[in-house]
Amino acid sequence: MAGPSWDTSRYLTLFGGEATEHLEALGKDVVALERGATVALVDSMFRHAHSVKGMASSMAFEGTAKLAHLLEDLLGTLRADVARADAAVADVILQTVDALGLHVKAAVASEPLPDHGALVTKLSELNAALAGKPPPVAPSAPTPTPVSQPEPARPVAAPGPSADASAPPRFSLKLKINPASNQPGVRGFLAYKRLSTLGNVFDLKPPLDDVKAGRVPQGTITLELESDQTEEAITRTMRTVADVELESISLLVKAAPPPPPSSESDPNRVVGQEPARTIRVRTEVMDQFLDQAGELLLATSRVRELTRSVPQAQRPALDEAVNRLHLLVKGLHDKVMEARMTPIAVITDRLPRAARDIARRRNREVELIITGEDIELDRAIVDELADPVLHLLRNAIDHGLETPEERKAGNKPPRGKVTIAVRRQRDRVVFELSDDGRGVDVERVKALVVERGLLTADHLQTLTERETLMLLCLPGFSTARDITDISGRGVGLDAVRRAVDQVGGTLEIETTPGRGTTFRLSLPLTVAVVNLLLVGVGDEVYGLPIGKVGGVVETARERLSMSQNAPVLQFGQSVLPVHELSALLEVPPDVQPPALVPFVVVDGDDGRLALAVDRLLGQREVVLKGLSKPLDLVAGLAGVTILGNGQPVFILDVARLVTA
C-alpha cells in the first residue's frame, strides 16, 4: 500500500490522544466481556479496533495497523458466536490492547515500534480456531482471483433488444474498471447501480454476483441498457463514476426477436431481483401516493361544494354519485395510509446499543427493556420521533439513573432499569419511557427556572405539579450541571416536545422522588388527516387542531376580569390568560366586532390559554400538508390545507404562536 502523501507529524498528537481513548474504551469493554458477552459489546469493541486500525494505517504505522486488523478480525469472528468469548479469549484481547498501547506510546515519542511477532501468531491462531478454519499459510491476498475462464457463450434465447416499438431504446455498453482500483467489485457495482437509475439493465456480463465479488475478467463488463436517456446523457452519467470507463456505447437496432416468455429464469436478467410477492416502493413514491390521494379527497369535497348550486330536482342523483365517489376516494386514501404504517421497532432496534454506549460513558449500569415494538405508526411519525426518543433515552440514563454506588447506598440494585413500553390505546399509540432512577427534583427545577429568568417566582406559584414538570421542556432549560457530550448535544427536551407537537401528539411527565421518571408520549396513528376547528379573524380563516382545543366560551369583552392589567378568562375552576388572535397574526380585526366574542381555550406550552377570535366557522376533517421552505420559517404555523372552496388555510401551532 502506498504511504500517506502528507506530512504526518502534525497529526501525531491527535493520533496519540484518540488512539489511546479507543484503547482505553476497549480495555473497559474487555472487563465487561468477562462479566457477560453480548453482540452489542463485541460490536463496540470491533468499532474501537477498527478505528485504531484506520488511524494507524493513515499514519503508515503498518505494524500497529496489522495488530489492530488481527484484533478486528478476531472480534468479527467472535461476533457470530459471542458465547465463545471465554476468559482465555479475553486474555488475548487484553494483551493485544496493551501491545497496541505500547505501539501508540512509541509512535508518539517517535521511537521505533515494538515487535509483537508472537502475539501476531497467537491472534491468527486463535481466530482460526474460533472460526473453525486452519490458519492461513501466507497472508491472504486481497481478492481471490479466479482462474481465467473462457467467456461463456451467449445463450441462444438471450433476451435481445425488444421488438416492441413502444419499448424505450436499448444501448449496448462496454465498461472497463481501472486495473489499479483496489476495490474493483464495488466499483463495478457502483457503475451498475448508476446505470440502473437511467433505465433497465439486461444481459449483464459477468452476472451481478460476480461483479460484486470482483470477479471481472480483464476488468471488462458488458451490458444492455433500456433507457429513455440520450446516448450523451448516459455517457455524461458514466463520467461521474470514478475508476470506471465507458469504453463503448451503441444504440441497438430494434429488429431482434421478441424476448422469450421465460426471461424470468434467465440468470443474466438482473432486473427485478426481488421475488414478486412483495415489492419495494421508494418512500418518495409513497409520499407522492399520499399527496395525490389527499388531493383527490380535497377535489371530492370541492365537487360536493359545487353540487349545492345545482337545482333541487337534480340533487338526489348527483348527491348519491358524489357520496359514492367520496367513499371510494376515502377508501383509497385509507389504503395508502395503511401502506405507510411502519413498526416502531425501526426506532427502538438501535436503542439497546445506544443505551450501552451512553451508560458506559457515564459509568452507569443499565438494563433496557422494550415491549410493544411491533406496533405500527405512520412512517412520517416514526421518522419524526427517531431523534427525540434517543434523546429521552440519553436523558434517562444520564440524568435519571444514579451511579451503581449511589444506587447501592439507596438500597436499589446497582443496575438501573429503563423500560420502553409501546401500546395501542383506541386510535392512539402510547409510548412510555420510564427509568427507576432518582426522579426529578421539582424544587430544583423551580429554582433553576427562576435563576435563568424563564419565569417569575410569582408565576411559578400558580402552576400545578404537572405544569411545573413541563418546564423541563422550556427552550434553554437543562438540569445538567454542565453541558456533557451526551445530553448537551443535539436535541433538548424542548425539541422533543416540539417534535411530538408536530405530529399531533402530547407529552406528559410523571416523577416520584427516589423512584424514577416516566415520559409518556400519546401519538396519533397517522398525521395526514386532522380535525380542525375553523375560526375567522378579520377576513381571514385559520384552523386550530381539535386535539388542542379544550372548549369555547362566548362572552363580551367587557365581562373579562383583569389580572395584572391583562384580561383573563374564567374557565371552569381556572383563570386563563387571553390572547387576541388578530394581534398574534397581525390581522386587522373586524371593524364591527361581535358583541359576544368567542374565546377558544387551547393548550399552550405553559398550560391553557384563551384565544379571542371573531367567528367560529365549524369543525372540518382536512388533509394536512406540511409547510415547505420558506413557510416553515414562520413561527406558529403547523401546516396548511385547502378547503372545499379551494382556499388555502393555515393551521396554527398555538404553543409557538404565543411564545415566539
Partner 1 sequence: MRHVLFRLEKDRYALPLSAIREVVVAPESFTRVPRSPKAMKGVMNLRGRVVPVVDLRELLEVGPGPVGGPGRVVLLDRGRRELGLLISEVDGIESLEKIGPPAPRASLAVKGLARLGAIPVTVLDPDALDATVARAFTTK
Partner 2 sequence: MAKKVLVVDDSVFMRDIIKDIFAAGGFTVVGEAGNGVEAVEKYKELKPDLVTMDLVMPYRNGIDATREILRGDNKALVVMCSALGQETMVMEAIEAGAVDFIVKPPRAEDVLAVVKKVLGEA
Site string for partner 1, 526-555 (x = CB under 8 A): --------------x---------------
283 makes contact with partner 2 (CB under 8 A): yes
CB closer to partner 1 out of 469 and 535: 535
186 binds, among partner 2, partner 1, none (CB under 5 to 8 A by kind): partner 2
CB-based contact 398:347 (threshold 8 Å):
no
Return the amino acid letter for 117. Answer: G
d(CA 319, CA 10): 79
Among 636, 644, 658, 659, binds partner 1 (CB under 8 A): 636
Return the amino acid letter for 638. Answer: A
Least separation, in Å, of the C-beta of 648 and partner 1? 4
CB neighbour list of residue 7: distance below 8 Å, 6 or more residues apart: none
646 binds, among partner 1, partner 2, none (CB under 5 to 8 A by kind): partner 1
CB neighbour list of residue 391: distance below 8 Å, 6 or more residues apart: 487, 490, 491, 492, 493, 495, 496
C-alpha atoms less than 13 angstroms from C-alpha of 556 in its C-beta half-sphere = 3
Q: Which of 192-200, 241-249, 509-517, 630-638 is the region at the interface with partner 1 (rule: CB under 8 A)?
A: 630-638
Among 132, 179, 316, 630, binds partner 1 (CB under 8 A): 630
646 makes contact with partner 1 (CB under 8 A): yes
Among 82, 90, 106, 186, binds partner 2 (CB under 8 A): 186
Give every strand in the sheet of 199-205, ordered side by side. 199-205, 220-227, 170-177, 244-251
Site for partner 2 in 490-509 (CB under 8 A): 490
477 binds, among partner 2, partner 1, none (CB under 5 to 8 A by kind): none
Q: Which of 12-20, 28-36, 102-110, 398-406 is the region at the interface with partner 2 (rule: CB under 8 A)?
A: 12-20
Site for partner 1 in 277-306 (CB under 8 A): 295, 298-299
Least separation, in Å, of the C-beta of 649 and partner 1? 7
628 makes contact with partner 1 (CB under 8 A): yes
Nearest one of 82, 81, 56, 78 to 67, comparing CA atoms? 56
CB-based contact 378:492 (threshold 8 Å):
no
240 makes contact with partner 2 (CB under 8 A): yes
193 makes contact with partner 2 (CB under 8 A): yes
Least separation, in Å, of the C-beta of 65 and partner 2? 9
241 makes contact with partner 2 (CB under 8 A): yes
Q: Which of 2-10, 126-134, 431-439, 516-524 is the region at the interface with partner 2 (rule: CB under 8 A)?
A: 2-10
Nearest one of 89, 2, 112, 5 to 42, comparing CA atoms? 89
Task: Dig out the grid coordinates for 447 from the structure.
Answer: 429554582
d(CA 600, CA 571): 11
Least separation, in Å, of the C-beta of 642 and partner 1? 5
2 binds, among partner 1, partner 2, none (CB under 5 to 8 A by kind): partner 2
* Residues β-bridged to residue 177: 244
Among 284, 427, 539, 558, binds partner 2 (CB under 8 A): 284
CB closer to partner 2 out of 242 and 321: 242
629 makes contact with partner 1 (CB under 8 A): yes
Task: Dig out the grid coordinates for 307 from the structure.
Answer: 353540487
* Sequential DSSP letters for 249-286: EEEPPTTSPPPPGGGGG-TT--S--S-SSS----HHHH
Give, as one character, the DSSP assignment of residue 235.
H
Least separation, in Å, of the C-beta of 186 and partner 2? 5
Least separation, in Å, of the C-beta of 114 and partner 2? 22
Among 625, 644, 658, 659, binds partner 1 (CB under 8 A): 625
Q: Is the peptide bond before 630 cis (omega within 30 degrees of 0)?
A: yes
For 210-219, b where at least 16 C-beta lie within 10 A, e where not — what string?
bbebbbbeeb
2 makes contact with partner 2 (CB under 8 A): yes
Task: Dig out the grid coordinates for 446 from the structure.
Answer: 423551580
d(CA 511, CA 341): 32
326 makes contact with partner 2 (CB under 8 A): no
By CB atoms closer than 10 A (0-12, 13-18, 19+), residue 244 is: buried
Site string for partner 2, 37-76 (x = CB under 8 A): ---------xx--xx-xxx-xxxx----------------
For 502-534, b where at least 16 C-beta lie within 10 A, e where not — what string?
bbbbbbebbbeeeebbbbebbbbbbbbbbebbb
618 makes contact with partner 1 (CB under 8 A): no
**Which residue matches cell numbers 476497549?**
26
Angle, CA of 647, 283 and 420, to the nearest 5°: 100
CB closer to partner 1 out of 468 and 641: 641
520 binds, among partner 1, partner 2, none (CB under 5 to 8 A by kind): none
CB closer to partner 1 out of 242 and 631: 631
SS3 string, 57-119, reads HHCCCHHHHHHHHHHHHHHHHHHHCHHHCCHHHHHHHHHHHHHHHHHHHHHHCCCCCCCCHHH
390 binds, among partner 2, partner 1, none (CB under 5 to 8 A by kind): partner 2
CB-based contact 551:573 (threshold 8 Å):
no
635 binds, among partner 1, partner 2, none (CB under 5 to 8 A by kind): partner 1
CB-based contact 507:497 (threshold 8 Å):
yes
Site for partner 1 in 575-614 (CB under 8 A): 584-587
185 makes contact with partner 2 (CB under 8 A): yes
Site for partner 2 in 366-385 (CB under 8 A): 383
Task: Provide long-range contacts, Cβ within 8 A and 24+ apart, for 563-569.
Answer: 569/599, 569/601, 569/610
CB closer to partner 2 out of 267 and 490: 490
Among 335, 489, 621, 634, binds partner 2 (CB under 8 A): 489
Least separation, in Å, of the C-beta of 511 and partner 1? 36
CB neighbour list of residue 553: distance below 8 Å, 6 or more residues apart: 569, 571, 598, 599, 601, 610
Return the amino acid letter for 316. Answer: P
Length of the chain: 660
648 makes contact with partner 1 (CB under 8 A): yes
Least separation, in Å, of the C-beta of 542 and partner 1? 8
Footprint on this chain of partner 2 (rule: CB under 8 A):
2, 4-6, 11, 14-15, 18-19, 46-47, 50-51, 53-55, 57-60, 142, 182-183, 185-186, 189-190, 193-194, 212, 214, 236, 239-242, 283-284, 350, 354, 357, 383, 387, 390, 489-490
Footprint on this chain of partner 1 (rule: CB under 8 A):
295, 298-299, 540, 584-587, 625, 628-631, 633-637, 640, 642, 646-650
